[in-house]
């Protein structure tokens, strides 16, 4: 990351590493916290609720991001546990999160997930509907949108998707860009990522059976 930031003539602190700990238990996460990592990502609310309350209690200052789809019946737990939700992609969820933040008197960072590849099986609002959705979140629900997030199609050149996400963010006056994973975080940093979500490069390969079930 340091090298990629330097190559892009960006400052060292301009990109946050979100360590993606999905499928790994507390025993595997502890050494990463001990090494100084503070920001973590999980893709399932239920799995995160099983391991993170204790980890957060033991290590103050941890910031936890939800990077996977959120069901509206999990909104309460999600707003309680997570410090950021990166997967806001429909009005129903945005409304439920807004309501829950009011009820809990808690403010967390919100990112809108954009399905830049318009893949039917993938979460995220399509690029053509993003401006309107962002405006709705801001104007009707009074939500602050901290950033945009995307997961490019596995078989496509990611830079096209990173550039598209940056363009949508810029025209909407949004600063945060969550893009780039183990295989392409350096490319994402060149395209302006403020958050990279890196799992296997930190924790090692995931058990594919578990990873599939939880994706």
Ligand X SMILES: *Cc1c(COP(=O)(O)O)cnc(C)c1O
Q: Which positions lie near ligand X, rule CB under 6 A?
A: 20, 22, 43, 67-68, 151, 181-183, 197-201, 215
Report the residue number, 104 or 208, with the smaller CB distance to ligand X. 208
Nearer to ligand X, 120 or 173 (CB): 120
Is 57 or 154 the residue whose CB approaches ligand X more closely?
154
Is the CB of residue 8 less than 8 Å from the CB of residue 166? no
Pull the structure tokens for residue 51: 């391991």
Residue 34 DSSP label? H
By beta carbon distance, the residue nearest ligand X is 199
Nearer to ligand X, 40 or 133 (CB): 40
Query: Cβ distance 149 to 114 under 8 Å?
Result: yes
CA distance 22 to 30: 14
Query: What is residue 70's DSSP assignment?
Result: -
Of 7, 10, 51, nearest to 29 (Cα)?
51
CB of 178 to ligand X, least distance (A): 8
């Amino acid at each position: 990351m340091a090298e990629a930031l330097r190559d892009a003539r960006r400052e060292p602190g301009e990109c946050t590493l979100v360590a993606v700990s999905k499928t790994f238990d507390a025993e595997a996460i502890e050494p990463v916290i001990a090494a100084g990592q503070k920001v973590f990502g999980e893709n399932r609310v239920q799995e995160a609720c099983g391991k993170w309350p204790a980890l957060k209690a033991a290590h103050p200052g941890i910031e936890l991001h939800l990077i996977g789809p959120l069901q509206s019946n999990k909104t309460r737990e999600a707003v309680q546990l997570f410090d950021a939700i990166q997967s806001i992609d429909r009005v129903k969820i945005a409304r439920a999160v807004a309501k829950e933040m009011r009820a809990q008197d808690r403010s967390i960072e919100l990112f809108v997930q954009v399905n830049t590849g318009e893949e039917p099986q993938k979460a995220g609002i399509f690029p053509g509907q993003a401006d309107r959705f962002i405006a709705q979140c801001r104007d009707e629900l009074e939500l602050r949108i901290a950033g945009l997030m995307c997961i490019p199609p596995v078989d496509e050149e990611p830079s096209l998707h990173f550039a598209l996400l940056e363009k949508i963010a810029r025209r909407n006056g949004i600063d945060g860009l969550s893009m780039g994973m183990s295989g392409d975080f350096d490319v994402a940093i060149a395209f302006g990522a403020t958050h990279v979500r890196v799992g296997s490069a930190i924790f090692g390969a995931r058990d594919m059976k578990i990873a599939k079930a939880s994706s």
